[in-house]
């Protein structure tokens, strides 16, 4: 059985020919698959005989919603997706004034080992396929009954450590014969894999880039983000500057505020000094406490003080709206806490 999810028009045309059909059937299949249809029987412009052949030889599968935590106050849904091999990843569906947004995962686990992050705790398991990234979007739409207009690749995993599949996913979700999602409505977040940032700026100049900064001293950043030993923070900032010069795009820096680690007056001084004059926006996010890591988040009051001070200095900064504060909002937390109860069904 062949999984047709994640296939390009060319691959679908070749498959149609293998099943004795004309190549243009591939285009028809493409439209159905990427408009979200998952039942071959509903693909009404395909002949009944072809639909039977499809059912015998192919399927459309990748992920299913296994468990949902819903924040009653703001409608945020944290979704636990089950994969075909029994692994699980997470996504977060959020409602904003400007539309619905989904935060999705790019890997099962993560290799980056950030000390404060729940995704790092179980280590790296495997990359997600393009189909598995795509289906997180369609499965969330099916579950919520709402359309997703914005995507952030900020769930579990390091997207630039899975570049090829990320790239396949971005091209498929953007395809005009499919969901036709604008690249400008997509944000990819990286912990700072510099060579991939460069490639990304050439191949996807319209997709928004976010960089997880979290600390600006070299030693300090290496302590909480081991990837900094390979790609030191000053080189990362130089690459970020180059990125916005080349693309004309504003970069988002994520700065997770950890109490007593990166929220002191000296830390703010360093932000002012090192980010001055850059085309950027700083997103301050009080850390979501993950018991197992021993770190705690700064208070919202401290986050707001820092934002104000940066703003006064001409650096755009916001404190992220606390969506889903009642649920395990940070990446990897739900999976971590669901390990024993994974079989709970959402439907
Ligand atoms: N690997 C990518 C994308 C996934 S993480 C990256 O590092 O950017 C998405 C964001 O959530 C990152 O900025 C990450 O550092 C942050 N994060 C991880 N654990 C968190 C927690 N417990 N509380 C708040 N933010 C967290």
Encode pLDDT of 275-325 as tens digits: 999 999 999 999 988 888 889 999 999 999 999 999 999 999 999 766 555
In degrees, rounded to 5, the angle at the alpha carbon of residue 79 between the alpha carbons of residues 77 and 84 is 160
Q: How far is the CA of 90 from the centre of ligand 1 (A)?
A: 13
Residue 61 in tokens: 């599968």
Residue 305 catalytic? Answer: no
Catalytic pick among 90, 135, 254, 261: 90
**Does the pLDDT of residue 326 top 60, yes or no?**
no
State which H helix or E strand residue 131 sits in.
helix 130-144
Interval 214-226 mean pLDDT:
97
Asked if residue 288 has its Cβ within 6 Å of ligand 1, the reply is: yes
Question: Hey, whose CA ends up nearest to atom 4 of ligand 1?
Answer: 154
Q: How many CA atoms lie within 13 A of 52 on its CB side?
A: 3
Question: Hey, whose CA ends up nearest to atom 19 of ligand 1?
Answer: 117
**Does the pLDDT of residue 332 top 70, yes or no?**
no
Residue 184 in tokens: 């400008």
Interval 145-160 mean pLDDT:
96
Query: What confidence score (pLDDT) does residue 327 get?
Result: 55
Interval 206-222 mean pLDDT:
97
Residue 331 catalytic? Answer: yes
Q: Above pLDDT 70, what percent of the chain?
A: 92
Q: Above pLDDT 90, what percent of the chain?
A: 83
Which pairing describes strands 280-286 and 316-319: parallel, antiparallel, or unpaired? Answer: parallel
pLDDT band at 97 (very low <50, low <70, confident <90, very high): confident
Question: Hey, whose CA ends up nearest to atom 13 of ligand 1?
Answer: 212
**Does the pLDDT of residue 187 top 80, yes or no?**
yes
Asked if residue 117 has its Cβ within 6 Å of ligand 1, the reply is: yes
Question: Hey, whose CA ends up nearest to atom 1 of ligand 1?
Answer: 158
Query: What confidence score (pLDDT) does residue 96 get?
Result: 87
Q: Lowest mean pLDDT: which of 61-75, 156-170, 224-238?
A: 61-75
**Does the pLDDT of residue 198 top 50, yes or no?**
yes
Q: Ligand 1, from 91, 114, 117, 156: best to mutate by most atoms within 8 Å of Cβ?
A: 117
The residue that leads in pLDDT, 206 or 119, is 206
Query: What confidence score (pLDDT) does residue 246 get?
Result: 87
Which pairing describes strands 251-257 and 280-286: parallel, antiparallel, or unpaired? Answer: parallel
Distance CA 29, CA 6 (A): 12
Prediction pTM value: 0.93
Helices (H) and strands (E) in the chain, counts: 11, 14
Residue 116 in tokens: 């404060």
Asked if residue 239 has its Cβ within 6 Å of ligand 1, the reply is: no
Q: How far is the CA of 190 from the centre of ligand 1 (A)?
A: 9
**Does the pLDDT of residue 342 top 50, yes or no?**
no
Asked if residue 283 has its Cβ within 6 Å of ligand 1, the reply is: no
Distance CA 76, CA 138 (A): 17
pLDDT band at 344 (very low <50, low <70, confident <90, very high): very low
Q: Which of 17, 33, 37 is nearest to 25 (CA)?
A: 17
The rounded mean pLDDT for the chain is: 92
Query: What confidence score (pLDDT) does residue 122 get?
Result: 85
């Amino acid at each position: 059985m062949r999984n047709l999810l994640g296939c390009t028009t060319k691959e679908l045309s070749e498959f149609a020919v293998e099943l004795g059909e004309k190549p243009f059937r591939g285009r028809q299949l493409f439209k159905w698959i990427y408009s979200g249809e998952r039942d071959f029987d509903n693909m009404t412009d395909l002949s009944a005989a072809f639909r039977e052949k499809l059912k015998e030889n192919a399927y459309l599968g990748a992920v299913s919603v296994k468990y949902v935590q819903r924040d009653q106050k703001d409608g945020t849904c944290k979704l636990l997706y089950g994969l075909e091999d029994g692994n699980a990843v997470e996504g977060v569906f959020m409602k904003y004034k400007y539309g619905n947004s989904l935060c999705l995962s790019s890997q099962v686990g993560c290799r980056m080992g950030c000390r404060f992050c729940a995704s790092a705790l179980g280590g790296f398991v495997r990359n997600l396929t393009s189909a598995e990234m795509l289906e997180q979007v369609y499965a969330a739409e099916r579950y919520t009954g709402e359309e997703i207009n914005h995507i952030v690749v900020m769930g579990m995993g390091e997207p630039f450590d899975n570049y090829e599949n990320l790239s396949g996913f971005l091209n498929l979700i953007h395809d005009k014969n499919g969901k036709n999602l604008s690249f400008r409505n997509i944000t990819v977040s990286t912990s700072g894999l510099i060579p991939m940032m460069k490639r990304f700026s050439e191949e996807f100049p319209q997709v928004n880039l976010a960089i997880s900064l979290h600390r600006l001293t070299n030693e300090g950043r290496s302590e909480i983000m081991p990837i900094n030993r390979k790609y030191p923070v000053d080189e990362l900032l130089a690459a970020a500057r180059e990125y916005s010069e080349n693309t004309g795009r504003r970069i988002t820096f994520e700065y997770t505020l950890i109490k007593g680690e990166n929220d002191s007056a000296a830390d703010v001084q360093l932000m002012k000094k090192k980010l001055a004059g850059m085309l950027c926006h700083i997103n301050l996010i009080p850390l979501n406490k993950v018991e197992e890591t021993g770190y705690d988040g700064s208070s919202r009051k401290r986050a707001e003080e820092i934002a104000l001070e940066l703003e006064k200095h001409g650096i755009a900064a916001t404190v992220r709206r606390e969506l889903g504060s009642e649920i395990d909002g940070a990446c990897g937390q739900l999976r971590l806490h669901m390990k024993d109860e994974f079989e709970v069904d959402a439907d």
